[in-house]
Structure 1
Amino acid sequence: MKEAWKKNLIVLWFGTFMTGIGSSLISPFISLYIGTLGNYSKTELNIWSGLIFSSTFVVLAIVSPLWGRLADQKGRKLMLLRASLGMAVSISLMAFVTAAWQLLILRMLLGAFSGFISNSMALMASSTPKEKSGSVLSLLTTGSVAGTLIGPIFGGILVGFTGYRHVFTVTGIIYFLVFIMTIFFVQETFKPIEKKNMLTSKQVWKVISHPAVIWGMFLTTLITNMTNQSINPVLSLYVQELMHGHGNITLMAGIVAAAPGIVTLVIAPLLGRLGDQIGQKRILGFGLVFSMVVFLVTATTTNVWFLIGMRLLVGISDAAILPSVQAILAKESPQEVTGRIFSYNQSAQSIGAFAGPLLGSAIAGFIDYRYVFIGSAILVIFNLINYFTHTKELPVKKELHA
């Protein structure tokens, strides 16, 4: 009989795949949708796009530790059900908004219920043998990446035929299907922990062998998400500028948004297995250096095809950085606090996803789109400093596996 964690990996891969599709169907075109809700100048549209895009993540950053504590107390499957159903309802309502402020409120509500992918990671991290965590979490990452890859392209086609509003309805249906799948197919052997026996926040850090490593991974996640998300709220506007307003802009914006996922989908499992052999720390360092170079080159973009090529290369750095962080967290976190550690990392991810779009939309609105990538490269330099400072304690014996 196949081990439970292997069955869960299959189910959660499809769950994160569908979640990835749902989360990316409308994201590349959010600024164009906002433009249909009122008459805005370029600067106003950029600011509104940044606020609405980021609002989900600032709320998620606040509530994630609360959900993480509940996950350690009640189980991760319950959190998967909460996330999928909550997202299904909140995003479906976005099809009926008539003003930007209404969309802002619903995006905040979406953030309050999000977290399917991070809880999938936590469930697998707590049930997978530690020596396989790198390859397993890398493979699980490809689920959301594959969905994120297909979503913008499918969304671009769907927008062309039905308009923006129906895309929200389709997304809500997708999330509801994930909810049903989780109910019937995800298995979790979990012994509830009484509230009085739960570790306090201070006690959590006492049971961790190398807190500096954990904090370093949180900061890596935060900065990486800032760089990845900084261009997103104005991506379609940038593509529109590069194409001089001609051609199928929504479809091309979808292709640009999906480009990193093409490479990540192929490379992440390979780097995950390699990381289990030579050390996730080495893979992480490579990814950071490579991303800095790619962002600097992307700043020289003069046409949409060059931009697509550079976004494909971003997929390599994402495949190296994100799964490596997850694997290091899994190996360094005792099982009784795995839910909270991954929820803290979700908060760091959300803070980055909140700050990145605001920074990117501000730079684009007041300077120029290409300087968003210069800003991203500078952020990666800070991430490299963090890497060399906070991974010194990472034990070699936990890095290497024969």
Structure 2
Amino acid sequence: MTPPESSINWKRNLAIAWLGCFLTGAAFSLVMPFLPLYVELLGVTGHSSLNMWSGVVFSITFLFSAIASPFWGGLADRKGRKLMLLRSALGMSVVMVLMGFAQNIWQFLALRALLGLLGGFVPNANALIATQVPRHKSGWALGTLSTGGVSGALLGPLIGGLLADSYGLRPVFFITASVLFVCFILTLFCIREVFTPVPKKDMLHARQVLTSLKNPRLVLSLFVTTMIIQVATGSIAPILTLYVRDLAGNVSNLAFISGMIASVPGVAALISAPRLGKLGDRIGPEKILICALTISVALLIPMSMVQNPWQLGILRFLLGAADGALLPAVQTLLIYNASNQIAGRIFSYNQSFRDIGNVTGPLIGAAISASYGFRTVFIVTASVVLFNAFYSWVSLRSPPERIRLPGE
């Protein structure tokens, strides 16, 4: 029996969804410290082959997540978001177990792709909370929820490295599977949702989803903004350690310094996201979005001119504080411009664009640094974010305009 809407405790749902996003973020990132080692364990030898396979097995998860997200979003709008959270948590738990039993690189590659296909916890958690929380608290709630995934992605590599050192590579997957199964149990018994299943024949088709939006052009621009945010973040990732080495010289604790500089934006985002989300509820998420993008440009440019790692670390901390406001602001604007009936698909489309950014960002950064040097990466990234700020400003200022589709 479906509980009455008044019985829904959205704050409890938020807490459980936060935990689920944390575990999902950790599950996706915990393999990073020992990914090349596990690829080597599965029979891949040679420096170039090891680098290639490590990159492929990492990126394929995001690629398949981008492909699958719209499907799961549509199913969430028809069957309910809680069901999608359960499917994702249980599916990822089973895949993690299978990864621990992989015998060759092809099996592992297929399972990493399956992990992407069965994902979708984060966008469905966003859709669930966004449709339950009072509108005047949506910025704070989505900002708080975003810190779950950020925390998981931050701590995942650390936890994965410690577990691998203590228990070996394969047991890490089994431990992660157990934790994800706990997430499944918590979601099953602790999250409540009022949802009436929608018959398939009554579901809006993709073109109807687009035309039902209050401001279709703005929503499309927000998807692009999400992608560019991830491109800007990912473009720096493959060069960061090498850039730090150029700045610091051959120091003995290069890995520690690089790891710290890599993690400080996430720490800053954890601090800033709920606070800036709450500020966005008061002054408007569109103002937060434009200001955060502008500040990001102002911080990326001097990163190309720093003379030591500590200057880079300070700038990256400030960048993380600004970046912490970006995705929650985008998500708040999305829910402002979409009905609850299509929220699952809108958030899943946004996740697809985010995953595309996760795949392309590191490739772009690596290509630019190989041709023009490390410092150029920051200049190019700043230019892309500046375009994004201008594009978002124009989209937010433009009055709503219905998109005419072919055949109309």
- TM-score, structure 2 as length reference: 0.86
Shift in alpha-carbon separation, 1:53–1:302, aligned structure 2, 3 A: farther
Higher deviation after alignment, 232-241 or 297-306: 232-241
Name the residue aligned to 1:398.
none
Residue 260 (str. 1) matches residue 265 (str. 2):
yes
Corresponding residue number in structure 2 for 1:282 = 287
Check if 1:133 corresponds to 2:138. yes
CA contact (8 A) 1:152 1:254 kept: no
In angstroms, what is the RMSD of aligned CA positions? 2.8
- The separation in 2 between residues aligned to 1:121 and 1:104, in whole angstroms, is 28
Aligned counterparts of 2:45 and 2:76: Cα–Cα separation in 1: 44
2:360 is the alignment partner of 1:332: no
Question: What is the aligned counterpart of 1:81 among 77, 86, 100?
Answer: 86
Asked whether 1:346 is paired with 2:351, we answer: yes
- Separation (CA, whole Å) in 2 of partners of 1:157 and 1:248: 19
Residue 191 of structure 2 corresponds to residue 186 of structure 1: yes
Give the superposition deviation at 1:275: 0.6
C-alpha distance in structure 1 between counterparts of 2:264 and 2:312, whole Å:
9
* Residues 365, 377 of structure 2: 8 Å contact kept: yes
Give yes or no for the alignment of 1:386 onto 2:370. Answer: no
Identify the match of residue 235 of structure 2 among 230, 248, 265.
Answer: 230
Deviations 1:29-48 (A, max 9, x none): 54565566534446x65544
- Offset of 1:161 from its aligned partner? 3.7
Name the SS for the 1:391 alignment partner.
helix
Q: Equivalents in 1 of 2:105, 2:300: separation in Å? A: 31
1:207 corresponds to 2:212: yes
Structure with the bigger RCO (C-alpha within 8 Å, sep 6+) is: 1
Q: Identical aligned pairs, as a percentage?
A: 42
Question: Are 1:143 and 2:148 counterparts?
Answer: yes
* Alpha-carbon distance change, 136 to 128 in structure 1, aligned in 2, over 3 angstroms: same
Output the amino acid matched with 1:60. Answer: S
Equivalence for 2:44: 38
Match of 2:159 among 130, 154, 163: 154
Cα distance in 2 for residues equivalent to 1:68 and 1:13 = 19
Read off the aligned partner of 1:17 and give its amino acid letter: F
Deviation at 1:214, TM superposition (A): 0.5
Structure 2 residue matching 1:90: 3-state secondary structure: helix
Residue type of the alignment partner of 2:99:
M
- 1:363-393 CA-to-partner distances (Å, cap 9, x unmatched) read 4555544544333223212312321232124
**Distance change in 2, residues 1:76/1:224 (3 Å):** same
What residue ranges of structure 2 are gaps of 5+ in the alignment? 1-5, 401-408
1:62 matched to 2:67? The reply is: yes
Counting matched residue pairs gives 393
Matched to 1:199, the amino acid is L
Deviation of the 1:355 alpha carbon? 1.2
Letter of the structure 2 residue corresponding to residue 385 of structure 1: F
Q: 1:387 to 1:13 in 2, by over 3 A?
A: same
Matched, 1:377 2:382: yes
The match for 1:111 is 116
Contact in 2 for aligned 1:51/1:358 (Cα 8 Å):
no
Q: Greater CA radius of gyration, 1 or 2?
A: 2
Aligned partner of 1:192: which letter?
Answer: P
1:390 match: secondary structure: helix
Amino acid of the structure 1 residue aligned with 2:231: M
1:362 to 354, 362, 367: 367
Q: Which position in structure 1 is the counterpart of 2:57?
A: 52
Q: Cα deviations across residues 323-343 of structure 1 (Å, max 9, x unaligned)?
A: 100110111111111111111
Counterpart AA for 1:75: G
- 1:118-161 Cα offsets, whole Å, 9 max, x none, are 11000011111222211111111122222233323333433444
| 370-379 or 301-310, larger mean C-alpha shift | 301-310
Paired residue type of 1:297: P
Match of 1:216 among 216, 221, 224: 221
Mapped partners of 1:254, 1:92: distance in 2: 28
Q: Secondary structure at the match of 1:230?
A: helix
